Amino acid sequence: DPNLRDTAGVRPMEVAVSRGRVEVVSVLLEAGCDKEDVDNQGRTALIIAAHRQNPEIVRALLGAGCNMNHADNNGLTPLRMACARTVDDVQVVEVLLQARCDADLPDKLGQTALMVAAVDNNVQLVRMLLEAGCDKDHSDFSGQTALMLASGAGRAEAVRRLLAAKCDKNASDSNGQTALSMASQGTPNKEIESIAYRIWRLPKAPLPSAACFAQVKQLLNTF
């Protein structure tokens, strides 16, 4: 039975995906493995493959018709998971976007892949998501947009890219804060840092300097 779990509740597909065994994944799919089965975190094989940054397995699972927009217990889709794990390799994100996944699906906080990329200052991902037509002014449950989050985190390059895409720099959140007022604080917004590292689990980045925030303010004032 390709769906039989071991004593720890782990599926054969989960083991194959976690170990990067694309040939085993193919055998399991051909054997009729339930490709939409989830683990105790609500993650499908496709979400795990995206988390592991394995484009070959992602392609195989998409080819088998896996749901590319399924979200786990935290509201994380394969795309969201891939964006939070990407450093220089954007192959998985590229594969998912080419398959026309929904780039605007929010997580439990109402935040999208673009917000993750912006706070991570990953300009390549920001560009890819914008070119894919994602909602550049989507706001989370506190009314914050990708531009606000990037400004509050001192991410000048992401701010530059978002402003070039004509994001609304005058939008305000539920506390009346704008991108400019968040950048004017001159230090990383603690709430944003907490979300980035505790919830999104982005790799810890060096704290932005006062010069970074000055650059963000200049960009917001001149665009």
Whole-number Å distance between alpha carbons of 92 and 32: 24
pLDDT single digits (tens) 138-160: 999 999 999 999 999 899 999 99
> Cβ neighbours of residue 91 under 8 Å, at least 6 residues apart?
53, 55
Question: Cα(135)–Cα(112) distance, rounded to whole angstroms?
Answer: 9
Question: Does the fold of domain 113-223 match that of domain 1-102?
Answer: yes
Question: Which residues of the chain carry a pLDDT beneath 50?
Answer: none
- Give the model's pLDDT for residue 13: 95
- The reported pLDDT for the residue numbered 87 is 62
Helix (H, G, I), strand (E, B) or coil at 87: coil
Class of domain 1-102: mainly alpha
The pLDDT of residue 1: 86
Specify the pLDDT at position 76: 93
**Tens-place pLDDT, residues 160-177:** 999 999 999 999 999 999
Domain boundaries, the chain: 1-102, 113-223
Q: Supply the pLDDT for residue 95.
A: 97
pLDDT at 218 (0 to 100): 94
Fold of 113-223: 1.25.40
pLDDT at 85: 67
Can you give the pLDDT at residue 102?
97
pTM of the model: 0.87
Distance CA 123, CA 155 (A): 10
Q: What is the pLDDT of residue 194?
A: 62
